[in-house]
Amino acid sequence: MVSERGLQVLRAIVQDYVDTHEPVGSKAIVDRHHFGVSAATIRNDMALLEDEELITAPHTSSGRVPTDKGYRVFVDHLAELRPLTSAQRTAITSFLQGPADLDDVLVRTVRALTRLTGQVALVQYPSFERANVSHVEVVPLGAGRHVVIVVTDNGRVSQRVAALSVDLDDDELRIVKGRIADLVTGKRIRDGLQAVTQFADTPTTGAADQAAHAVASIVAEELEEFRQDRLVLAGSATLARSESDFRGSISPLLEAIEEQVTLVRLMSEMVADEQGLAASIGRENEAFGLDEASVVASDYDASVSRARVGLLGPTRMDYPTNLAAVRAVAHYLSRLLEEDERAR
């Protein structure tokens, strides 16, 4: 059983190890944290922490480092989220302010977060299963090329250049847009996808009909992508700077970043507390092949669903600062999307 002082010793070890990247000894704790007891007493507390597998000795020195279990106790019971400074809040606001579609907002979100923390930043797209298609547009570029635009009622915008093999006159273009709009406008993503897929599979007659089928196929592909869970990421290069924090290779992390599927599953399965904050630490990520990494995340609200914004990095990360950062960015992102929804 760990005493209250023992927990405070664990807090000191986590904080000092994160700050110095050096194993923490009893003398350093006495010098830095003023517990009012001797180094021998602190050593006894550390021995109990080691018995509970909350700290460990990385080599034969007297210093100790937190284990994954120790980090978990720290995050759940000891970490005090540090409020962001006014400069940090101003940086978030200035980086995210200004009108933009959802794609651009999420890109700016992860860029702001990785600049703020020095970690890999990631944000989930909200689920669009419950969104409705609000508008479809086909804009001619010449030489048979057209831009197909699909817009949802919660701000998702897709633009795709399509080669339709023919230049449509104004009447033909109006017919094509009308056919596709009739199929999807006002419908849920899933229902619109079903409608345009069925239409694209029917026989064609004439240039305008062929063009409509081609546009329907493109709209179907875009709506299918709207349904896919995916992430926006930034800051992958930060892993190279923290490579010494990983006992093995950082390749599994780089592969997870490239493929995204693993991170999407991990982000989705993390259990949040009552504040919408979640952390998955070290060996808790073993099933995802990321047992030397940690992810911290915060829920944010989109108009039709909730999603998460988070940070990926080594287990030796500054959990209080990183949790505070994802919470602040998530709150700002929620407010930004809510304001955009009201403006529409």
> Residues 142-171: pLDDT tens digits?
877 889 999 988 777 889 888 877 777 888
Residues 315-330 have a mean pLDDT of: 94
Phi, psi of 87 (to 5 degrees): -65, -40
Check pLDDT > 90 for residue 184. Answer: yes
Check pLDDT > 80 for residue 343. Answer: no
Q: What are 33's two structure tokens?
A: 């944290």
Phi, psi of 204 (to 5 degrees): -115, 150
Residue 52: DSSP 8-state: T
DSSP characters for 141-170?
EETTEEEEEEEETTS-EEEEEEE-SS---H
Please state, in angstroms and rounded to a whole number, the distance separating the CA atoms of residues 175 and 212. Answer: 8
Please state, in angstroms and rounded to a whole number, the distance separating the CA atoms of residues 208 and 171. Answer: 9
Check pLDDT > 80 for residue 335. Answer: yes
Please state, in angstroms and rounded to a whole number, the distance separating the CA atoms of residues 96 and 107. Answer: 9
Phi, psi of 129 (to 5 degrees): -60, -35
Domains of the chain: 4-78 (1.10.10.10), 86-126+229-343 (3.30.450.40), 133-227 (3.30.390)
Query: Nearest to residue 41, comparing CAs of 52, 32, 51, 30?
Result: 30
Question: Binning pLDDT at 50, 70 and 90, where does residue 211 land?
Answer: confident
Q: What per-residue confidence (pLDDT) applies to 305? A: 72
Residues 203-218 have a mean pLDDT of: 83
Q: What per-residue confidence (pLDDT) applies to 76? A: 93
**Torsion-angle region of residue 289: left (phi > 0), alpha (psi -120 to 50) or beta?**
left
Write down the pTM of the prediction.
Answer: 0.79
What is the per-residue pLDDT across 233-253, written as a single tens digit (0 to 9) for each?
999 999 988 888 888 788 889
Please state, in angstroms and rounded to a whole number, the distance separating the CA atoms of residues 294 and 323. Answer: 12
What is the per-residue pLDDT across 18-53, written as a single tens digit (0 to 9) for each?
999 999 999 999 999 989 999 999 999 999 999 999
113 vs 244 pLDDT, higher one: 113
Query: Nearest to residue 303, comparing CAs of 279, 339, 271?
Result: 339
Q: What are 177's two structure tokens?
A: 């847009």
